[in-house]
Structure 1
Amino acid sequence: MFVRIVKLSFHPEHCAAFLANFELMKQQIRNAPGNRLLELYQDKTNSNVFFTYSYWETEDDLENYRQSALFNEVWTFTKQLFNAKPEAWSVDKIAVLP
């Protein structure tokens, strides 16, 4: 399993539209084959910056999602709202401390 972290920065006037669309799509994204967790965070000092954390069983699962009609629908809508290029990292979890 690995973690995908995506930083999304929006024009402030588009944050509500992003959040509304995320609310509509989040369960479908979470139910994508191989997805084990989906979280959304908002930066405390820059409220138009968000981060998604998603846990995937395999890199193929993430790639299959990225090639899906669902991703295309989500990304087509979301990318219109950006004020900066999104950044993404795929990372392996090394330690978890309860």
Structure 2
Amino acid sequence: MLTMTENASTLVRTITDQSVGTTEGGLRISQAESTTDFAVDVVPAPEAADQIVEREGARVFLEENAATALSDRILDAQLDENNAVRFSLGLPA
């Protein structure tokens, strides 16, 4: 199952609090079947079949294809020099 670093959970929680304003909201990661690209959206609630990953109040919703593709990954996040959020996916050490 996807895990989040402390940085990722802090930034996901901040983004969803500012964008959605409810504790039910989160960051949704999806992947179309014919591609390796992921789409990331801030949403007010998960879809019925989404896998939910939570850490310290941060919620990430994974649609089925993304959940499979990211099952062994770690989500990290950093702010760049322009204060834009940069997400990255890594493998456990």
Q: TM-score, normalised by structure 1?
A: 0.30
In our comparison, the structure showing a higher alpha carbon Rg is 1
Q: Which has the higher strand share?
A: 2
Tell which has more relative contact order, 1 or 2 (C-alpha 8 A, sep 6+).
1
More helix by share: 1
